[in-house]
C-alpha cells in the first residue's frame, strides 16, 4: 500500500521511513523549508527550530501540533502546513534571536555569499534587530594555527553541525559543545587550537558549517567560482568523487558531491586539501634531455626524435626485450592500456609492469590462485551489512581515510572488529581483538586462526562441500601444525587467536580487509591465500557483508593490472605465453605479439644492472625513492643506455634520466579510474594541461605514431570501445553509460554491473584449499644477530607514497619529516629520548632519522614512513621478494639502532 | 501563589477560591498543577522581580541546544533586568516581548523554554498595573 501525506491540501507519496523534513525536501526542493542545523548524512538534531511546521496527526485523533520537521517522522495521512502565517513569524523571530549574537554585517563579512544564515536573513528581509545590545560572543577569538582549517567562533550559531560531522562521519571526536545555556560554545579537543587538537583535517566540519564559523583557507571572499567540475580523486584506491570549484582555470577549492555513492560528500585531508601541487613552481614544464651529463631543456620534437632513434638503435642491436616499460597506477585505464599496448605491439616485448608489483601483486596472484579473480569480492558499502570486520596488515584510517572512517564508524556502532597488525593502529585501539604479531608472521597467525576454526567446529560444511575443493588434504595438514611454535614465533597468544577465530567464524557475515602489511612480505602471496581461505572455510563469499577486500593503494592500481600492465598477463588477464591468447591479441592489435613472459620490476632492475636491459621507460613512479635497497636501484638505473621518465616533477628517478617528459596531472585530462571495489569511474578534465605538459596518454600515442603504429588520438570514449573488445569484464562499459557513479566490473554487454563477485561459482570454478607452511624470512634468519630490530615501513595520513605531490602542498606543514617510532623500553635501553636523532643500520645501508617514542609497538619492533627523500628509508630495505609475485619485503628489515649525538643531526 | 513548580502558573490570591486542585481545573484557567507545590509570594514582593527571577531560572537551567531557549531566555532576562535598573529609558517593547514569548513557547525543543511563557503570561495578565512602569504602553 502506498503511504501518503499532505502538504497543505495536496497528497504526496511517503518513501520508507523518512522525517517530515526529508519528505518536504524530496517533494518541494532543498530550500522549501529553511534550516540551519540540518546537514546531509548527519542525524536529525533539532537545534535551530527553523524547520518547525504545523501538523495534524491523523493517528492521534487529529491532534494539531507545532513540531520541528527534522526530527519528526512522517506518518500516513499526516497533514503538514509548512508555511502558515504563525510559522513565518516564528521563523523570523528565531532568526532575529540568532542575529542578537552574530555580527550583523553580511556585506563586510568574510563569508559573504557563502553562508546559509545570510540567505535566510535575506529571505526574511530584516531591517534591524529589535533587541537592545546584550551579552554576546562577538569577541570570540579566531584560530589560524592550522595550515588549512580556520575557525572564527564569533560567527558560530551553536548548531553543532561540526561536532556531529566529526563524530558521525569521521569518528575523530575533536569538537565539543562546552558549557551550557547561553554560555555554551564550540571547543576543539580540550579547548585547544586546531593544530594541537586531534584534528585529521578531513574537512567534514567545514563542509557542513552553515556560517563559516569553521572554514578553511580555500574560501577567499575575493574569488568566487564560476564553474564546477565533478571528477575522481587521484590519490588512493578508495576512489572518492570530488567537486572542483574553479575560477576560470584556477582551482579555488575542492569538496565532494553529497550523493556520490563512494564517499557521500566525505573526503580526507589529501583529497580535499592537497591539490596545491597542480600548479606548483616545481612542475616540469619542458622536456629535458641529458647532454654532457646535465639535463637541459628541449622541445617535444627533439625529445621524441631522440627517444625514437635511441629505441630503434637498441631494438636493432639487442632486440625488443632489451627495452622495458613501467606504467603508472596513477594514470587512467586508457593510458595504462596504451602503455602496455605500446610495449607489446610497438616495441614487441612483454617487459611491462606497474607499481602493483611493489604493493598488491601478491593479492592479485594469491586471490587468483584461490578464487580465480584477483580483486575485491565485495563493495565498501557492505561495511554497513557485515557483522564482523577483520583487518589484516592495514591502517585504513591513515592510508584509505574515507574507507577508514566508515570502518571506524561501524566499529563504534558495535560491529565486531578484529585487527591483525604489529602496530596498535587507530582501529586496533577500538577493536574487540588486536592480534599484535611480530612483522613477518602473518602466515603463522592465519594458520592458527584456520586451525581453531576447524577444531572449534565452526566451519561452514555445506559451503565447503558445494563450493570448494582440496579441503580434506588441507584439514589434515592444518591439524598437524605446531601451535606452540607458531605462538612463539608470532608472539600472539593461542587464547587470543582462538577468540578471534571464534568471533570471525560465528558472525553471520564476516568481511576481511587487507593491505600491504599482508602483501609486502617474503610470504606475501601465501598470506593473501590464507586470508582468502579463512572466508572459504566459513562460507563468507557471494553475499552482502562478506568476502575478501584488498585496500588498493593507488587510485587506479586495480585498473592498471586490468589493462594488462603486467609482464605475464595482457589486457583482461590473458596469459601472454598461451598461443590462443597471442592469436587473440594479434588479431586485436594487428601486429605480431611477443610470446615470452616479460620482466617484473625487480627483475628489470637486475637486468639493467647486468646490462641485459638497455632502455627503461618509467611513467609516474619514483623507483629510486620507493624501491627497496636504494643504492642498488640507483646503480642499476645508471647502467641503462636510455632512461625515460615521465612525471609531474623532477623526482629522484628523473634526476638519473636520459630524457624527462613533463606529464599533466589528473586534473588536466579525462579518462577512467577503477577503484578498489572494481568501480570504473569517469575522470573529467578540470583544467587544460599546464603549458608545456602533455597527458601521459597523449605522449604514448605520439610516441607510438613516431615509431610507425597508427594509433588514433588519446580519447577515452574511443579507447573504451577498443578496451571493451578485448577485456571481457569491460564488455558493457562505455563512457556514456558509466554515468556519475561509475560501474563495478564485470559489466555485461547489457550494462549490468557486479557489486558482489562469486555469487554462484568462483571464477576458477571451485574455491581452492591449500595448506601453506610458515617460513621465517631470510632477512631475519641471516641478519637477526647483527641487526636485532625489525623495521617496518608505513604511510602517514597526510602524505602519499613518495610524497612528490603531498610534499608540494600545505600538508608539508602538517608533517615535514619521517620519524622512527620506537617502544619506550627500547628507547630507554638505548638512551634515546623523544625527538633525538638516531642512526639506523641494515645490511644494505644506513640512515639518520629522528625518534618518537610510542607504546603502539612491541619491544624490538620499529616503524617509519618513507615519504621524504632526504631521509631515504629505502637505503635500508632488502632485495627479498615474495617468491610468487616478486613483491619486495618492505615490512621486515633487520636493523640496528645507534644514538646520534645532537651535533650530528 | 506559584503552583506546580519553578515554571508553574502564578495564581493571584483572589482566584484561589475559584480553583479545585486537579489537572483539568488549573489547565482550564490557564495555570498548571505540575508537581503540586505551592510557593507563596508576599504581596509586597515586586512582580517585576519575580519575572526577573523566572527568566534567570530559565537561562540558568537552559542546556543551550535550541536557539529559542538558549538565546531567548537570555534576552528576556536582559530586557527585564535593564528595565528594572532604568525604568525611564529602558522600557520593554510589548510587541517584542510577546514575540519572544511566542518563540519560546512554539519553538523550544523541550518543556523548559516552552514552559517559561505560562507563568510570565499569568503575571502579565493579573499584575498588569504593577508592571506598567516597566513596559512601553502596556495595554
Q: What is the pLDDT of residues B68-101, one digit of tens each?
A: 999 999 999 999 999 999 878 889 999 999 999 9
Q: Which sign, positive or negative, has the C-alpha torsion A644, A647, A650, A652?
A: negative
DSSP string covering A689-737, please?
PPTT-B-HHHHHHHHHHHTT--PPP--HHHHHHHHHHH-GGGTT--HHH
Q: Quick check: A903 pLDDT over 80?
A: no
Q: Would you tell me how many other CB atoms lie within 10 Å of the CB of residue B28?
A: 10
Rg (CA), chain B: 15
Chain A CA closest to residue B97: A131
Of B65, B96, B103, Cβ closest to residue A130 = B96
Q: Least CA distance to B61: which residue of chain A?
A: A181
* Chain B: closest CA distance from residue A133 (Å): 9
Q: Are A315 and A541 in contact (CB under 8 A)?
A: no
Average pLDDT, chain A: 95
**Contact criterion met (CB < 8 Å) for A158 and B108:** no
Write out pLDDT tens, residues A267-300. 999 999 999 999 999 999 999 999 999 999 999 9
CA distance A175 to chain B (A): 15
**Quick check: A93 and B100 CB within 8 A?**
yes
Which chain A residues are Cβ-neighbours of B91 within 8 angstroms? none
pLDDT digits (tens, 9 = 90+) for A849-892: 999 999 999 999 999 999 999 999 999 999 999 999 999 999 99
CA–CA gap between residue A325 and residue A310 (Å, rounded): 15
Q: Is the pLDDT of residue A219 over 90?
A: no
Q: Which of A39-43, A63-67, A473-477 has the lowest mean pLDDT?
A: A63-67
Q: Cell for A154?
A: 564569533
Mean pLDDT of A443-463: 97
- Residues of B within 8 A of A134 (CB-CB) are 74-75, 78
Identify from B59, B62, B75 which residue to disrupt to test chain A contact, counting A C-beta atoms within 10 A and taking the largest count: B75
Residues 6+ away with beta carbon under 8 Å from A101? A136, A137, A138, A157, B71
The proportion of chain A whose per-residue pLDDT surpasses 70, expressed as a percent, equals: 99
Q: Does B136 touch chain A (CB under 8 A)?
A: no
Give residue B43's pLDDT band: very low, low, confident or very high (50, 70, 90): very high
Q: Do B66 and A47 touch (CB under 8 A)?
A: yes
β-strand A861-865 against B9-10: which pairing, if any? unpaired
- pLDDT for A320: 97
Q: Which of B62, B63, B78 sits opposite A134 (nearest CB)?
A: B78
Quick check: A131 and B99 CB within 8 A? no
Instruction: Looking at the complex, report in whole angstroms how far the Cα of residue B129 sits from the nearest Cα belonging to chain A.
Output: 24
With contact defined as beta carbons under 8 Å apart, do A732 and A721 qualify?
A: no
The CA distance from A96 to A175, in Å, is 26
Kindly list the strands in the beta sheet with A214-216, ordered across the sheet, starting from the edge strand earlier in the chain: A142-143, A149-152, A214-216
Residues within 8 A of A (CB atoms), B 35-74 only: 59-68, 70-74
| The pLDDT of residue A902 is above 70 | no
Which residues does chain B have within 8 Å of residue A86's beta carbon, measured at their own beta carbons? 106
Checking if the pLDDT of B139 tops 80, the result is no
Q: Does residue A221 have a pLDDT over 80?
A: no
Does B110 reach chain A within 8 Å, measured CB to CB? no
- The shortest C-alpha distance from B13 to chain A (Å) reads 33
Q: In 10 A of CB B29, how many CB atoms?
A: 14
Q: A818 falls in which pLDDT band (50, 70, 90)?
A: very high
Task: State the pLDDT confidence band at A905, using cuts at 50, 70 and 90.
Answer: low
A770-794 tens-digit pLDDT: 999 999 999 999 999 999 999 999 9
Nearest to B68 among A49, A100, A180 (CB): A49
Whether residue A131 and residue B75 make contact (CB cut-off 8 A), yes or no, is yes
Q: Do B102 and A177 make contact, defined as CB atoms within 8 angstroms?
A: no
Beta bridge partners of B2: B10, B39
- Residue-wise pLDDT for A588-641, tens only, equals 999 999 999 999 999 999 999 999 999 999 999 999 999 999 999 999 999 999
What confidence tens digit (pLDDT) does each residue in A485-498 have? 999 999 999 999 99
pLDDT classification of A62: cutoffs 50, 70, 90: confident
* DSSP labels, A34-89: --SS--TTSPP---S-TTEEEEEEGGGTTEEEEEEGGGSB--TT-EEE-S-HHHHH
Nearest to A363 by CA among A548, A137, A159: A548
* Reported confidence tier of residue A128, pLDDT bands at 50, 70, 90: confident
Interface contact A181-B70, CB threshold 8 A: yes
Quick one: pLDDT at residue B126? 95
SS3 (DSSP) at A186? strand
Q: What is the pTM of this model?
A: 0.94
Region label for A298, one of left (φ > 0), alpha (ψ between -120 and 50) or beta (otherwise): beta
Q: Hey, which residues 74-103 in chain B have their CB within 8 Å of chain A? A: 74-75, 78-79, 82, 90, 93, 96, 99-100, 102-103
- What does the pLDDT read at residue A110? 76
- Residue A295's pLDDT is what? 96
B5 sits in the region (left: phi over 0; alpha: psi -120 to 50; else beta) called left
Yes or no, beta carbons of A132 and B82 under 8 Å apart: yes
Neighbours of B82 (CB within 10 A): 17
Say whether A158 and B64 touch across the interface (CB within 8 A).
yes
Name the one residue in this structure whose C-alpha cell is 542525524. A43
Alpha carbons A338 and A345: distance in angstroms, whole number: 10
- Asked casually if ipTM beats, i.e. exceeds, 0.95, the reply is yes
Do B64 and A48 count as a contact with CB atoms less than 8 A apart? no
Burial of A569 (0-12, 13-18, 19+ CB in 10 A): buried
Q: Residue B26 has which C-alpha cell?
A: 488549573
Establish, for the pair of chains A and B, how many residue pairs have beta carbons separated by less than 8 Å.
Answer: 92
Three-class DSSP category at A671: strand
Amino acid at each position: 500500500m502506498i503511504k501518503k501525506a499532505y502538504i497543505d491540501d495536496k497528497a504526496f507519496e511517503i518513501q520508507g521511513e523518512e522525517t517530515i523534513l526529508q519528505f518536504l525536501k524530496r517533494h518541494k526542493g532543498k530550500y522549501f523549508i529553511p534550516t540551519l542545523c540540518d546537514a546531509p548524512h548527519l542525524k536529525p538534531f533539532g537545534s535551530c527550530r527553523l524547520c518547525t511546521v504545523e501538523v495534524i496527526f491523523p493517528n492521534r485523533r487529529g491532534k494539531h501540533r507545532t513540531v520541528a520537521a527534522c526530527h519528526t517522522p512522517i506518518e500516513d495521512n499526516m497533514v503538514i502546513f509548512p508555511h502558515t502565517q504563525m510559522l513565518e513569524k516564528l521563523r523570523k523571530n528565531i532568526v532575529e534571536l540568532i542575529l542578537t549574537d552574530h555580527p550583523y554585517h553580511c556585506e563586510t563579512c568574510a563569508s559573504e555569499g557563502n553562508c546559509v544564515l545570510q540567505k535566510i536573513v535575506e529571505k526574511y528581509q530584516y531591517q534591524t534587530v529589535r533587541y537592545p545590545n546584550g551579552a554576546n560572543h562577538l569577541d570570540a577569538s579566531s584560530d589560524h594555527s592550522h595550515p588549512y582549517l580556520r575557525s572564527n567562533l564569533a560567527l558560530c550559531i551553536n548548531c553543532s553541525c561540526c561536532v556531529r560531522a566529526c563524530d558521525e562521519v569521521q569518528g575523530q571526536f575533536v569538537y565539543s559543545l562546552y558549557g551550557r545555556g547561553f554560555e555554551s560554545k564550540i571547543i576543539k579537543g580540550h579547548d585547544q587550537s586546531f593544530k594541537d587538537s586531534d584534528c585529521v583535517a578531513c574537512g567534514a566540519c567545514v563542509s557542513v558549517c552553515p556560517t563559516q564559523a569553521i572554514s578553511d583557507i580555500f574560501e577567499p571572499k575575493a574569488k568566487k567560482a564560476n564553474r564546477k567540475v565533478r571528477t575522481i580523486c587521484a590519490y588512493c584506491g578508495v576512489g572518492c568523487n570530488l567537486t572542483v570549484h574553479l575560477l576560470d582555470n584556477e582551482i579555488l577549492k575542492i569538496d565532494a558531491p553529497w550523493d556520490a555513492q563512494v564517499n557521500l560528500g566525505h573526503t580526507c585531508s589529501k583529497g580535499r586539501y592537497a591539490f596545491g601541487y597542480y600548479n606548483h613552481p616545481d612542475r616540469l614544464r619542458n622536456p629535458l634531455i641529458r647532454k654532457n651529463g646535465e639535463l637541459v631543456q628541449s622541445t617535444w620534437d627533439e625529445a621524441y626524435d631522440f627517444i625514437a632513434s635511441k629505441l630503434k638503435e637498441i631494438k636493432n642491436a639487442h632486440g625488443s626485450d632489451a627495452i622495458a616499460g613501467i606504467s603508472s597506477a596513477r594514470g587512467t585505464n586508457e593510458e595504462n592500456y596504451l602503455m602496455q599496448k605500446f610495449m607489446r605491439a610497438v616495441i614487441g616485448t612483454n617487459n611491462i609492469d606497474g607499481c602493483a608489483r611493489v604493493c598488491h601483486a601478491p593479492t592479485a596472484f594469491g586471490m587468483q590462485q584461490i578464487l580465480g579473480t584477483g580483486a575485491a569480492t565485495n563493495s565498501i558499502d557492505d561495511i554497513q551489512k557485515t557483522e564482523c570486520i577483520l583487518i589484516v596488515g592495514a591502517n585504513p584510517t591513515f592510508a584509505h581515510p574515507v574507507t577508514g572512517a566508515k570502518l571506524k564508524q561501524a566499529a563504534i556502532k558495535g560491529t565486531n572488529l578484529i585487527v591483525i597488525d604489529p602496530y596498535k593502529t587507530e582501529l586496533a585501539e577500538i577493536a574487540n581483538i588486536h592480534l599484535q604479531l611480530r612483522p613477518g608472521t602473518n602466515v603463522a597467525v592465519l594458520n592458527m586462526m584456520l586451525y581453531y576454526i576447524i577444531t572449534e567446529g565452526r566451519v561452514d560444511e555445506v559451503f565447503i562441500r558445494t563450493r570448494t575443493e582440496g579441503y580434506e588434504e588441507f584439514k589434515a595438514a592444518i591439524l598437524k601444525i605446531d601451535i606452540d611454535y607458531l605462538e612463539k614465533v608470532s608472539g600472539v597468544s593461542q587464547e587470543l587467536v582462538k577468540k578471534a577465530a571464534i568471533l570471525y567464524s560465528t558472525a553471520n557475515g564476516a568481511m576481511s580487509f587487507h593491505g600491504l602489511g599482508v602483501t609486502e612480505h617474503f610470504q606475501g602471496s601465501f598470506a593473501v591465500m590464507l586470508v582468502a581461505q579463512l572466508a572459504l572455510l566459513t562460507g563468507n563469499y557471494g553475499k552482502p557483508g562478506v568476502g575478501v577486500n584488498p585496500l588498493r593503494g593507488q587510485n587506479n592500481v586495480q585498473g592498471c593490472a586490468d589493462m594488462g600492465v603486467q609482464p605475464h598477463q595482457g589486457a583482461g588477464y590473458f596469459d601472454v605465453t598461451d598461443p590462443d591468447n597471442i592469436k587473440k591479441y594479434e588479431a586485436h592489435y594487428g601486429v605480431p605479439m611477443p610470446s615470452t613472459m616479460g620482466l617484473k620490476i625487480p627483475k628489470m632492475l637486475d637486468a639493467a644492472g647486468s646490462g641485459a636491459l638497455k632502455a627503461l621507460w618509467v611513467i609516474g613512479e619514483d623507483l629510486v625513492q620507493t624501491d627497496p635497497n636504494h643504492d642498488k636501484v640507483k646503480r642499476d638505473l645508471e647502467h641503462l643506455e636510455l632512461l625515460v621518465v615521465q612525471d609531474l616533477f623532477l623526482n629522484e628517478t628523473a634526476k638519473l634520466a636520459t630524457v624527462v617528459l613533463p606529464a599533466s596531472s589528473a586534473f588536466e585530462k579525462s579518462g577512467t579510474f577503477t577503484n578498489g571495489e572494481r568501480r570504473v569511474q569517469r575522470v573529467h578534465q578540470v583544467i587544460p594541461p599546464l603549458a608545456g605538459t602533455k597527458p601521459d596518454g597523449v605522449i604514448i600515442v605520439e610516441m607510438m605514431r613516431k615509431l610507425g603504429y597508427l594509433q588514433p588520438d588519446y580519447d577515452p570514449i574511443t579507447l573504451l570501445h577498443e578496451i571493451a573488445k578485448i577485456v571481457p569484464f569491460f564488455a558493457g562499459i562505455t563512457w556514456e553509460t558509466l554515468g556519475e557513479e561509475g560501474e563495478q566490473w564485470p559489466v555485461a554487454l547489457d550494462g549490468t554491473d557486479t557489486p558482489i563477485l562469486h555469487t554462484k561459482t568462483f571464477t576458477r570454478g571451485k574455491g581452492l584449499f591449500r595448506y601453506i607452511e610458515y617460513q621465517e624470512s631470510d632477512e631475519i634468519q641471516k641478519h637477526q644477530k647483527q641487526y636485532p630490530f625489525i623495521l617496518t615501513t608505513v604511510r602517514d595520513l597526510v602524505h602519499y607514497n613518495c610524497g612528490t605531490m603531498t610534499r608540494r602542498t600545505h600538508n608539508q606543514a602538517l608533517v615535514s619529516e619521517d620519524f622512527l617510532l620506537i617502544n619506550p623500553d627500547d628507547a630507554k635501553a638505548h638512551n634515546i629520548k623523544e625527538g633525538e636523532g638516531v642512526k639506523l643500520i641494515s645490511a644494505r645501508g644506513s640512515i639518520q632519522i629522528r625518534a618518537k617514542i610510542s607504546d603502539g609497538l612491541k619491544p624490538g619492533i620499529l616503524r617509519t614512513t618513507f615519504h621524504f627523500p632526504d631521509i631515504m628509508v629505502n637505503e635500508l630495505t632488502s632485495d627479498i621478494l615474495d617468491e610468487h609475485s616478486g613483491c619486495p619485503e618492505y615490512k621486515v628489515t633487520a636493523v640496528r639502532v645507534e644514538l646520534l649525538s645532537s651535533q650530528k643531526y | 501563589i506559584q503552583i506546580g513548580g519553578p515554571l508553574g502558573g502564578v495564581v493571584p490570591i483572589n482566584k484561589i477560591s475559584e480553583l479545585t486542585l486537579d489537572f483539568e481545573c488549573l489547565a482550564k484557567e490557564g495555570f498548571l498543577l505540575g508537581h503540586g507545590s505551592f510557593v507563596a509570594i508576599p504581596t509586597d514582593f515586586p512582580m517585576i522581580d519575580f519575572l526577573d527571577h523566572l527568566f534567570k531560572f530559565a537561562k540558568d537551567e537552559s542546556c543551550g541546544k535550541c536557539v529559542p531557549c538558549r538565546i531567548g531566555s537570555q534576552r528576556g532576562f536582559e530586557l527585564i533586568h535593564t528595565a528594572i535598573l532604568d525604568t525611564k529609558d529602558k522600557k520593554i517593547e510589548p510587541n517584542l516581548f510577546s514575540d519572544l514569548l511566542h518563540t519560546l513557547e512554539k519553538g523550544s525543543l523541550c518543556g523548559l523554554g516552552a514552559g517559561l511563557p505560562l507563568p510570565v503570561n499569568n503575571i502579565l495578565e493579573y499584575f498588569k498595573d504593577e508592571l506598567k512602569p516597566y513596559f512601553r504602553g502596556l495595554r
